[in-house]
């Protein structure tokens, strides 16, 4: 059985806060349908990257469109796609220093003071590990921890949450080598388990309801004692990315290789 609960009653998070100290009291009071309280081994604590970034003092000045564009530039490793809006601003899909491909490099101007912008955590996996250690010290259990962010997806309307940081959880479930119901061997099926957990948690966290933390119960088979490799392994390597080049670039390379 899969259970997902939002964590209520969290105070606002500000720069320099110890996130584990802020979250632990509310986790301790969390009540489940079976009458139990708190978190236990095998649970997964899912935290929005925004509160992690706020605690890590990732708020920067962005008092004008030009300053905001400069902030996005500072977080851009590679421009994937760009479209100029009618007002002259640009919508950019870029790869950021963490290897994530996001609109505006994940720079966020919602739910922050006017004239500022919030960067993503500098190292989301390290953030997840730190939070996990802090929760262990305060609660006596080592839950899995997932740090999430909201993304759009090619060819799909709407947004969803994915895991950008993780600790103590198997991020990818490799089903290759197993057999389907007809006995055929699975050759390509690798499930992004952390992303599925992030999306499930977002159903109860909410974007504007002040609930940035949720707990997922029922995925204990993915929770590990060691922190593990984190969510960084979910970023597809360049050599495996079939969409890294635009049509013109791919055609030009094909001409050079004698294939077009």
Do residues 103 and 128 share a domain? no
What CATH number has the domain bearing residue 136?
Answer: 3.30.1330.100
Do residues 173 and 252 share a domain? yes
Do residues 148 and 241 share a domain? yes
Do residues 114 and 126 share a domain? no
Do residues 98 and 203 share a domain? no
Predicted pLDDT of residue 46 = 98
Predicted pLDDT of residue 242 = 74
The C-alpha atoms of residue 118 and residue 76 are separated, in whole angstroms, by: 14
Do residues 110 and 225 share a domain? no
Do residues 86 and 155 share a domain? no
Do residues 84 and 194 share a domain? no
Q: Concatenate the DSSP letters of all residues of 131-146 into one string.
A: HHHHHHHHHS---EEE
Domain of 20, in residue numbers: 3-58+122-257
Predicted pLDDT of residue 256 = 62
- Position 86 pLDDT exceeds 90: no
**Mean pLDDT across the stretch 114-127?**
96
Side-chain-facing half-sphere of 146: CA atoms under 13 Å: 33
Looking at the structure of the chain, the number of domains it has is 2
Which region among 25-34, 90-99, 220-229 has the lowest average model confidence (pLDDT)? 90-99
Q: Which of the listed residues 84, 101, 119 is the one where a domain comes to its end?
A: 119
Q: What is the mean pLDDT of the chain?
A: 88
**Mean pLDDT across the stretch 75-92?**
84
pLDDT 10s digits, 173-218: 766 666 767 667 666 567 889 999 999 999 998 766 779 999 999 9
Q: Concatenate the DSSP letters of all residues of 30-80 into one string.
A: -B-TTS-BS--TT-EEEEEHHHHHHHTT-EEE--SHHHHHHHHHHT-SEEE
Q: Which of the listed residues 119, 145, 169 is the one where a domain comes to its end?
A: 119
- DSSP assignment letter at 254: H
Do residues 109 and 132 share a domain? no
Do residues 111 and 223 share a domain? no
Radius of gyration over alpha carbons of the chain, in Å? Answer: 20
Residue where the block lists tokens 């593990």: 228
Q: Which of the listed residues 119, 136, 155 is the one where a domain comes to its end?
A: 119
- Extract long-range pairs of 84-91: CB within 8 Å, 24+ residues apart: 89/65
Flag whether the pTM goes above 0.85: yes
SS percent in the chain: helix, strand, coil, step 5: 30, 25, 40
Do residues 43 and 155 share a domain? yes
Predicted pLDDT of residue 51 = 96
Of 131, 109, 141, which Cα lies nearest the Cα of 56?
A: 131
Do residues 129 and 242 share a domain? yes
pLDDT 10s digits, 53-66: 999 999 999 999 99
């Amino acid at each position: 059985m899969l259970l997902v609960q939002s964590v209520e009653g969290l105070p606002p998070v500000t720069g320099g806060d110890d996130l584990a100290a802020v979250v632990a009291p509310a986790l301790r009071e969390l009540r489940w349908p079976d009458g139990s309280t708190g978190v236990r081994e095998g649970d997964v604590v899912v935290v929005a990257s925004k509160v992690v970034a706020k605690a890590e003092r990732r708020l920067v000045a962005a008092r004008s469109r030009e300053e905001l564009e400069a902030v996005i530039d500072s977080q851009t490793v590679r421009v994937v796609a760009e479209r100029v809006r009618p007002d002259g601003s640009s919508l950019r899909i870029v790869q950021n220093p963490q290897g994530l491909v996001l609109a505006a490099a994940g720079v966020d101007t919602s739910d922050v003071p006017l004239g500022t912008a919030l960067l993503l955590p500098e190292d989301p996996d390290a953030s997840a590990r730190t939070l996990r250690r802090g929760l262990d010290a305060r609660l006596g259990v080592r839950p899995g921890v997932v740090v999430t962010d909201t993304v759009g997806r090619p060819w799909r309307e709407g947004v969803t949450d994915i895991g950008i940081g993780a600790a103590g959880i198997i991020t990818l479930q490799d089903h290759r080598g197993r057999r389907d119901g007809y006995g055929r061997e699975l050759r390509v099926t690798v499930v992004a388990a952390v992303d599925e957990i992030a999306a499930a948690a977002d159903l109860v966290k909410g974007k504007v309801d002040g609930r940035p933390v949720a707990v997922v119960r029922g995925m204990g088979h993915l929770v590990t004692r060691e922190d593990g490799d984190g969510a960084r392994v979910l970023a597809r390597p360049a050599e495996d990315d079939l969409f890294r080049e635009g049509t013109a670039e791919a055609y030009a390379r094909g001409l050079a290789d004698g294939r077009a």
